[in-house]
Structure 1
């Protein structure tokens, strides 16, 4: 795989760091939207799979995350993040104007990607959501009911059955290991409601990937959002639920199966 390239864009609330994993004459462009507290650099292996499959891959660090500007993990309005992702999509489409665009969102990135599809679905060829924060995610309600949000960081063991994943996450200086911030939690609650009322994505092909032992974003709550987004399952929904898998299915012990499901879905969409 060719060396990654770095860009800096002017975002809605400061500079946004963007990474590209290039591919000459790509079959498609994949835009990766990372989750809460992390950064797009954690998707190196995913990008490698996609580049090998024929994609040029782009992904930003969201505001307050990774190498982008802003107070750490502070997101006051996720609609601004969606707008920033659209600027990255414009960068990718200007580089490869004839290539189909696929959006891949994980966890918080799944919420951002879902809103992107509701706002800009006409530019997308496919949508992939991994452990998405959509539907009935009860954590914001629980935290906002407290006078003070506790300093309880994400448990590395909740990410994957592979202990090496949790160890790397713990040691990563670009990952946030502190408490959630109230404005961010409030923004989660608002955007979950906005997405629920934002309508379905019609016939846009949607792949939903989820571990059935996901303790951070439980399966049942996300299913509510997937059904809303896909029009009650009447659209082009493909569902893959992995027994025993935890939150980060791309980093799970069965990741080869997950990557095969991902590339098979994309082949079906691209050959249509």
Structure 2
């Protein structure tokens, strides 16, 4: 059972709906129905008759108004999902970000699609847009639900461990044991607040957001959550075979040092972007990897020229991904060759 659409905290044009899940948990779907503006670049002048579903990363929630406006201006219906135990979906007594299997989010995504009016076969293309852990989650979901989506766009997806596959495989057995015996015991903190300093308007960034839903140093990291991520990454490493076009957007470099430097303002401070770029090739037979110089971990929280370029790259990629130009002609020419 779901609630009705009500005004959202993001203000004019934004609405939210509570999605009731089994076990008493909830997810929250946000939609944008505001006025069309030409302040954001569109999709090369074309109107996009599609649905977009955005899923956030770890210790995060949806607050990027400009992302919704971009897709709305392009003609799409934009929706964003705050998963259970995150953001708008947090309730007293819940453990923020708690999950034991990324497949548990299938219920959230399924409820969101139903609220979007996609419970049956829909002629409107579905574009999945995932950031960080949300990118990993949507990749696995698309693999398990062939034919459900039309395109997958990943914004710095957490497809591989920062210490690369060898590090993940070495740690995974011990982590799995801890996840079974002590799932909620806090692990040593990995977020030292460097990313917050790079994005927060109170420090060196330009963005305002809810500090309870997006803490300075992230939610406490638990064995249960990290084990779920590692198992998801192992599944990606084995090869997914996603059946839709995939665009992976990454910074051109990482900054993974434990102390602040101005270099953190021009790099991904959360991921090993080279390891993720390599792992992206395991998603599907054909994957487009787009590296943006000096981008932050969330490409769309980067300085304005970088995020404008990111939107422009999506605008160039997506029309061809949804309707490959000349595909029929090439098939006819190469038949029997």
Shorter-normalised TM-score: what interval?
0.7 to 0.9
Q: Distance in 2 between matches of 1:169 and 1:180?
A: 23
Q: Distance in 2 between matches of 1:218 and 1:5?
A: 35
Aligned counterpart for 2:75 among listed residues 54, 60, 84? 54
| Residues 168-192 of structure 1: per-residue CA shift (max 9 Å, x gap) | 4676332133421221111111111
Residue 124 of structure 2 corresponds to which residue in structure 1? 99
Give yes or no for the alignment of 1:267 onto 2:308: no
Deviation at 1:148, TM superposition (A): 6.1
CA contact (8 A) 1:151 1:180 kept: yes
> How has the CA–CA distance of structure 1 residues 136 and 37 changed in structure 2, closer, same or farther, with 3 Å as cutoff?
closer
Aligned counterpart for 1:112 among listed residues 137, 143, 152? 137
Aligned residue-pair number = 266
Residue 7 of structure 1 corresponds to which residue in structure 2? 17
Give yes or no for the alignment of 1:155 onto 2:180: no
Greater length-normalized contact order (CA 8 Å, ≥ 6 residues apart): 1
Residue 78 of structure 1 corresponds to which residue in structure 2? 102
Unaligned runs of 5+ in 1: none
Deviation at 1:263, TM superposition (A): 2.2
CA contact (8 A) 2:48 2:74 kept: no
Deviation at 1:218, TM superposition (A): 1.3
Q: TM-score, normalised by structure 2?
A: 0.69
Give yes or no for the alignment of 1:123 onto 2:153: no
Larger radius of gyration: 2
The structure in which a higher percent of residues are helix is 1
Q: Distance in 1 between matches of 2:151 and 2:159?
A: 18
> How has the CA–CA distance of structure 1 residues 170 and 48 changed in structure 2, closer, same or farther, with 3 Å as cutoff?
closer
| Residues 14-34 of structure 1: per-residue CA shift (max 9 Å, x gap) | 111111113799710000011
Q: TM-score, normalised by structure 1?
A: 0.84
> How has the CA–CA distance of structure 1 residues 271 and 183 changed in structure 2, closer, same or farther, with 3 Å as cutoff?
same
Q: After superposition, where does 1:1-272 map in structure 2 within 5 Å?
A: 3-13=13-23, 14-22=25-33, 27-40=49-62, 42-69=63-90, 70-94=94-118, 97-138=122-163, 141=168, 149-153=187-191, 155-157=193-195, 166=205, 168=207, 172-176=211-215, 177-197=218-238, 199-202=240-243, 204-213=244-253, 214-231=268-285, 235=286, 237-253=287-303, 254-272=306-324
The secondary structure found in structure 2 opposite 1:185 is helix
